[in-house]
Amino acid sequence: MSKPQVGIIMGSESDLKIMQDAAEVLGHLGVEFELTVVSAHRTPERMMDYAQAAKGRGLNVIIAGAGGAAHLPGMVASVTTLPVIGVPIKSSNSIDGWDSILSILQMPSGVPVATVALNGAKNAGILAAQIVGTFNETVAAKLVTFKQELKEKVDTSIREIRIAGFRNDFDDK
Ligand code: RP5
């Protein structure tokens, strides 16, 4: 079994229902990943250990999801040179999700976290695969197919909407 290239971590098991979208798309794109709970507030030593060991363990990217006062992605980014992708989660302790978004997004200069949309774990997985795809041709090729499938889905929608009888002068020209 080859080593994981992406580490998916989250503040609580309650985040898994969102974060499994990242796991699913990474699996689809052929990227090896690991997934576990690392809490900035409940297990701070584990968080530091994970972040400090990540590069040496062979990880290329970390995806970190958290809700509410979402300190995990930023704190992990503070102690690793690996790219960190942050997933804000609307959790039981979120007011409306903006708390998580801003906690992850508004990092101080010098310590970036690539923040995706609220509950946007699928895009976090795709972005992580795109980072891996810069040096792994197999993953890069899968991403080309993935993009082509996105286009084909839209092409199908366009055909179905035309069949339903809506006027579309753009495509009828
Ligand atoms: C955050 O608190 C976690 O990332 C989770 O989104 C939220 C709620 O955690 P639980 O109380 O459900 O464990 O740190």
128-161 confidence digits (pLDDT tens)? 999 999 999 999 999 999 999 999 999 999 999 9
Among 137, 136, 70, which Cα is nearest to 106's? 70
The residue whose CA is least distant from atom 1 of ligand 1 is: 67
Domain of residue 161 covers 138-173
**Looking at the DSSP assignment, which residues form a beta bridge with residue 29?**
none
Statement to judge: residues 23 and 90 lie in one domain? yes
pLDDT at 173 over 80: no
Residue 11 Cα to ligand 1 midpoint, Å, equals 6
Instruction: List the structure tokens of 8.
Output: 């998916």
Model pLDDT, residue 1: 77
The residue whose CA is least distant from atom 3 of ligand 1 is: 11
Model pLDDT, residue 96: 96
This prediction has a pTM of 0.96
Model pLDDT, residue 15: 98
Site to probe by mutation for ligand 1, drawn from 91, 100, 104, 118 as the one with most ligand atoms within 8 Å of Cβ, is: 91
16-50 confidence digits (pLDDT tens)? 999 999 999 999 999 999 999 999 999 999 999 99
Statement to judge: residues 24 and 47 lie in one domain? yes
Statement to judge: residues 105 and 143 lie in one domain? no
Cβ-proximal residues to 66 (8 Å cutoff; 6+ apart), any chain: 10, 11, 12, 15, 40, 72, 73, 86, 87, 88, 89, 91, 100, 103, 104
Statement to judge: residues 25 and 47 lie in one domain? yes
Statement to judge: residues 110 and 75 lie in one domain? yes
What pLDDT band is residue 115 in, cutting at 50, 70 and 90?
Answer: very high
Instruction: List the structure tokens of 120.
Output: 């946007």
Statement to judge: residues 65 and 29 lie in one domain? yes
Euclidean distance between the first and the last CA atom of the chain, given in angstroms as a whole number: 54
Statement to judge: residues 171 and 149 lie in one domain? yes
- What number is the average pLDDT over the span 71-95? 98
Statement to judge: residues 146 and 128 lie in one domain? no
Residue 15 Cα to ligand 1 midpoint, Å, equals 7
Residue 26 Cα to ligand 1 midpoint, Å, equals 23
Statement to judge: residues 143 and 119 lie in one domain? no
- Number of structural domains (the chain) is 2
Model pLDDT, residue 103: 98
